Structure 1
Amino acid sequence: MAESKLRQLLHNLDTELQKTPGLDEKQRQQIASIRQEVAAVLAEMGSPAQSKDRIGEAVGLFETSHPQLTLILEQVIDTLAGMGL
């Protein structure tokens, strides 16, 4: 259940990134890195604790300028936590 939710959140993140104006290249790279880490967690190859920390850092950077991205990232963190990761 949580795995399918994470997959859906990754899809939502990709969709939101496509329609979010004003992201600079560094911000896009940071989101891409986070997306890869979450995908690695799904593939049981990544470090979940490190991924949650990096996602948390991104939330702080995007919370005022891109609230929809922030919401999706917070949902990813909650889902990882719900999985016990």
Structure 2
Amino acid sequence: MPEQSLQDQLKALHDTLQDSPQLDEATQALLTQIAHDIDNLESKTAPPNDLTDLLQEQVIQFENDHPAISAILRQITDTLGRIGV
């Protein structure tokens, strides 16, 4: 069940990133890399050890300026925790 939730949350992150042209290129690239790393979880590729820490940093960074992205990242962090990442 958490894996399906994670897929849904990743889709929401991808959709939100496409709808957020106001993000600078570095931020867009970082979020895209995070999404890619999480996608790799499904193919059993090991994620970077600091993936959860990186997600939490991004949640804090986006809290005021990009609340939709922040909320999605928070959900992804919670889901990753539930599946043991």
Aligned equivalent of 1:28:
28
Please tell me the root mean square deviation across aligned C-alpha atoms, in Å: 1.4
Distance in 1, matches of 2:50 and 2:43, equals 15
The runs of 5 or more residues in structure 2 that have no matched partner are none
Aligned equivalent of 2:15:
15
Distance in 2, matches of 1:66 and 1:74, equals 12
Count of residue pairs brought into register by the alignment: 85
Per-residue CA shift, 1:44-76, capped at 9, x if unaligned?
212364211111111122111100000000000
Structure with the bigger percentage of helix = 1
Share of identical aligned residues, percent? 32
What's the secondary structure of 1:80's corresponding residue? helix
What's the secondary structure of 1:59's corresponding residue? helix
Distance in 2, matches of 1:64 and 1:52, equals 20
What's the secondary structure of 2:50's corresponding residue? helix
Q: Could you tell me which amino acid in structure 2 is paired with residue 25 of structure 1? A: E
Change (3 A) 1:48 1:35: same
| TM-score, length basis structure 1 | 0.90
- The answer to whether the 8 A contact 2:38-2:47 is kept is no
